[in-house]
Amino acid sequence: MRRRLLALAAAVGLAVAIAAPAQARAWSTTVTFHDAVIPISDTEDPCAAAVGWGNVNGVMHESVAANGSYHWTGTLTGDFDVTIVDSGRQATGHFTVWFGGNDNVVAADDGTMILFWQTLAVHGTYSDDGSDVRINIVEQLRIAPDGTVTLWFLKANCHD
């Protein structure tokens, strides 16, 4: 009797293990961090290419639905100390960036649609004369199932 129950339990366990991938489970995770030091190497910024360091706090979240759709989002905020590539000027200040995306298997009739977006706000001061640096950027990108970019825009407001 004990062997039969053990064999039955093993068979049920094997059946569940085999069926599990067919019935995907939804899940999510969130990571929070504080005082992380990150390199800044933004050499293609539409306002002012800069290199240096940032000290950030942030939270990042990702989730997957049972149908395989994927969502991620994050917010980082912190201080920076950079050198502007073209001019060599030093700038320090504060920034916040919010970003996210979706890889949605049901958004398009013919498969996965990928969306990405970000907003960035920067306020800083040049060390040589104390003048302000203000940058605001909004960007969105949409990629069709065949890999074609169907929407892309970048709006940058640069004030210095």
Q: What is the pLDDT of residues 129-138, one digit of tens each?
A: 999 999 999 9
For residue 21, pLDDT beyond 50: no
Bigger pLDDT: 150 vs 4: 150
For residue 107, pLDDT beyond 70: no
State the sign of the Cα–Cα–Cα–Cα dihedral 6, 11, 16, 17: positive
For residue 43, pLDDT beyond 90: no
φ and ψ of 80, to 5 deg: -135, 160
Q: Please give the DSSP secondary-structure letter assigned to residue 75.
A: E
Question: Mean pLDDT across the stretch 92-98?
Answer: 96
Token output for 73: 């989002």
User: Is this model's pTM higher than 0.85 or not?
Assistant: no
Distances (CA, A) of 79 to 35, 86, 87, 112, 126: 10, 21, 21, 37, 14
Q: Which residues contact 86 (CB under 8 A, 6 or more apart)?
A: 48, 49
Task: Return mean pLDDT, the chain.
Answer: 81
Question: Mean pLDDT across the stretch 58-68?
Answer: 91
